[in-house]
Amino acid sequence: MSYGTAEAIARRVRSLPQGLQRHIQRVQDVAAKLAGVHDADEERVRLGAMAHDVARAMNGDELLAHARDMGIPVHPVEAAVPVLLHGPVGAELLRRLHGLEDREVYEAVYWHSTAHKDLGVLGKIVFLADKLDPHKKARYPFIDRVERLAAKSLDRAVAEFLSRELVDLIGQGSLVHPASVEARNRLLLKHG
């Protein structure tokens, strides 16, 4: 990853709304701690965390338009809930406009909302750090257990989050993204 890419992404992040920038900073802090615990490359984890919400300020119509323009496959669940496209659109923008070539960072950004069955360590850290933002935790009544698990096993923490989140979404009558179901199945098959 070139210095130019990181600097261009940082500049783009500085143009985002203030509240979103503060969320991104907190996610970077949580992600850096998890990187230390799990022996991951802190610089790349920080880049993924910094980049994860670059498209979060776009509205649904903008996300759908960008997805179509850039040839991102749009699942019917994403067409119905376009906010789910802010990861894919963000990752693709960074690749096309700012030369983001690091595949793991790209996938961490792409799948940070839903998770994905093939996420690596970096992607799991960014996924969890996004949910463990201290200001966002109140949204998830089960987050303390996820946080405790994250200190020991990224896989178990992601599986726990997905299990609880999917139950909540189904309980509310909401759509669920198949990538989340597949990611949870993969983790349960791996760990029993």
Residues binding Fe ion (CB under 5 A) = 53, 56, 130
Minimum distance between the CB of residue 78 and Fe ion, rounded to whole angstroms?
A: 14
Residue closer to Fe ion (CB basis): 53 or 147: 53
Name the residue nearer to Fe ion (CB basis): 53 or 160. 53
Minimum CB separation from Fe ion for residue 56, in Å? Answer: 5
Considering the complex, state which of residue 53 and residue 92 has its C-beta at the smaller distance from Fe ion: 53
Smallest distance from Fe ion to CB 2, Å:
25
**Residue showing tokens 């960014």:** 126
CB of 139 closer than 8 Å to CB of 157? no
80-85 CB contacts, 8 Å cutoff, 24+ apart:
80/175, 81/175, 83/113, 84/113, 84/114, 84/177, 85/55
Cβ atoms within 10 Å, residue 65: 14
